[in-house]
Amino acid sequence: YSDLVTQAKPSHVHTEPLAVPSKTLMGPGPSTAHPRVLEAARLPLLGHLHGEFVKIMGEVQEQLRYAFQTQSRYVLAVSGTGHAAMEAAVANFVEPGDVVLVGVNGIWGERMSDLVERYMGVVVRMEKEGGKVFSGEDVERELTKEPKIKLVFLTHGESSTGTLQPLEGIGSICKKHGALFFLDTVCTLGCVPFNVDKHGVDITYSGSQKCLGAPPGASPLMVSSAAMDKLQSRKTKPFTYYFDINLLGEYWGFKDNPRWYHHTGMVSNVYALREALSILQDEGLGEAWARHREAAERLWDGLERMGLELFVEDVNERLPTVTTVKVPEGVDWKDVASHMMRKHKIEISGGLGPTAGKVWRIGIMGYNAAPQTVNRLLHALKEALDLYGGSFA
């Protein structure tokens, strides 16, 4: 075949096994995976329609109902990262001309507005400055002003600013006005108190690599029966094949039909997700929420003791999973983050969107929500500030 091999081999042929350093991932995600989850991901592949694998998919759906706290049968994992599930939701539930109220208090509302427009929806922006959240009255005011709103989008855990969106009462306000409640739970599912059915959420997507501590690639999505009714009443098919929820539902068993090949299931990611959800079930949701809260409080306390200021003032609106902490005057956030990585192999990250250059973002998610890990981080941060904190140190 020599005339078909026209491209020379790369100068180094990697015959040695792939080696990567072990790091403590405490940025906004991915978070460090639980070793059990990584073990599960290396199990032998099964065919994505084999009975054994279909059984595992069913188990994952049961586990997701527990994580989401819902009785809805319409739960699945979308192939791809959080954005894939986000796009799947928009592509299916936004029809051309649909009016969507989008809460914009960070980059996730911005991205959602962009996505809704790409699928020809009409965005009504409801804005708050970064670090603030929306109230039920804010939502009700917009729904009263614009009765055509079909969907209300909010971000439960705004990872670019570090806010936790309160959910009480919002679902019932949406229902009263005939709108579906659409929520991003990428940074909260499994870490922060949340009950889909009680909070009246109709559509929510999450990610595997944050609170659940699995590799990125299998993103939970939940749809209520009211949202499924909206999907069935579409005038056109969704403008996506890969993310068509009716077709995905045939593969995930929404209709008790024989399983059908839509696209090749992400076998290893599903193993990993199942293991991550098993660990969550074993611990108990309430216990996992409390562990995250305690770890976050330990972090907040430690940061304040160092003289640092938290970006979100109101403790009830502060996201336990991603903390935003102000970079003091005269300090370069990158020097500090680089030192922590170089010396301690701990990742923290800078701001994003409205917080770019202003804050560090510190993730306390899944496996890392432990007192010793938070202590290690605080120690490394203190050391970095002593070295690079200038007059602040």
Q: Residue 4: which H helix or E strand, with range?
A: none
Residue nearest to ligand PMP (CB): 82
- Asked if 163 is part of the footprint of ligand PMP (rule: CB under 6 A), the reply reads no
- Find out whether 274 is annotated in a ligand binding site: no
- Asked if 81 is part of the footprint of ligand PMP (rule: CB under 6 A), the reply reads yes
- Asked if 82 is part of the footprint of ligand PMP (rule: CB under 6 A), the reply reads yes
In this chain, which of 90, 170, 180, 186 binds ligand PMP, going by CB under 6 A? 186
In this chain, which of 27, 121, 131, 157 binds ligand PMP, going by CB under 6 A? 157
Q: How many CB atoms lie within 10 A of CB 112?
A: 25
Nearer to ligand PMP, 31 or 70 (CB): 31
Nearer to ligand PMP, 143 or 368 (CB): 368
Among 119, 117, 180, which Cα is nearest to 154's?
180
Burial (CB count within 10 angstroms: exposed 0-12, middle 13-18, buried 19+), residue 207: buried
CA distance linking residue 306 with residue 301, whole number of Å: 9
The one segment of 42-50, 154-162, 166-174, 229-237 that binds ligand PMP by CB under 6 A: 154-162
Among 283, 286, 222, which Cα is nearest to 254's?
222
Letters for 90-119 (x = contact with ligand PMP by CB under 6 A, - = none) are: ------------------x-----------
Q: How many CB atoms lie within 10 A of CB 225?
A: 11
The one segment of 155-163, 258-266, 292-300, 331-339 that binds ligand PMP by CB under 6 A: 155-163
Q: How many CB atoms lie within 10 A of CB 166?
A: 16
Query: Least distance from C-beta 58 to ligand PMP, angstroms?
Result: 24
Query: Least distance from C-beta 76 to ligand PMP, angstroms?
Result: 16
In this chain, which of 27, 29, 265, 354 binds ligand PMP, going by CB under 6 A? 29
CA distance linking residue 357 with residue 336, whole number of Å: 13
Which residues does residue 359 pair with via DSSP β-bridges, in sequence order? 326
Which residues does residue 318 pair with via DSSP β-bridges, in sequence order? 163
Query: Least distance from C-beta 269 to ligand PMP, angstroms?
Result: 12
Sign of CA dihedral 115, 206, 270, 369: positive
| Binding site per annotation, positions | 361
Contact set with ligand PMP (CB under 6 A): 28-29, 81-83, 86, 108, 155, 157, 159, 184, 186-187, 207, 216
